[in-house]
Amino acid sequence: IIRFLNSNNPLDLLNFFYEYNLFRISQIADNKRIRSYSQKTLEVVMNRLDKTNKTQYSEILKKEGFKNIAKAIRNVAVNAIYLSRRNDEYKKIIHFGLASELKRASLTEKTLIEWLNNFCSTYNANLDRFAFANPDKKLPFSKIKQDDIENMMNLIEDYSQPRIVGSLLLAYGLASTSKKEEVETEVEETIE
């Protein structure tokens, strides 16, 4: 974070969020509670960075496809861990190593688009498998739509900065929602 404060470079800030999220997910997996930054906090920080640096990165956070794929990331990296504590069937949905995969994929537009397509197809396939194995249960999460994928591909191409787009996707996806840890509410609704 000190590096970001000295440089005002958004990648330094997003790298801090990446490292913090790795720590946070490991703590959640170990049944430990740890506070997260919120999506609202990320929006405020990116708005201020845009004003300072004359960029428009905060606009990325407003796109519907971006939000839906970020939610899918949260579902398989955080929410599924909470669900799996009550039912082992949900362990099949957890995507371990997602943060590292996305960070590596964000080096180029091509690799980020490939990762995005692979993630979305795997995510939807896992939900289909869950539905087939558990016909009496509703899906724990919404599927990703083709429009969401196309919206993200357009963002990647329009901004031509895959590291920023990928890092924002990860940071926003793993941030807590504006409601107080909506995760537990979603988990309770899914289990009932």
Tell me what pLDDT residue 155 has: 94
19 vs 100: CA distance, rounded Å: 10
Output the six-digit token pair for 99: 């943060």
Tell me what pLDDT residue 62 has: 96
Domain carrying residue 39: 2-191
> How confident is the model over 73-127, as pLDDT tens digits?
999 988 888 888 888 888 888 888 899 999 999 999 999 999 999 999 999 999 9
Beta strand segments in the chain, E: none
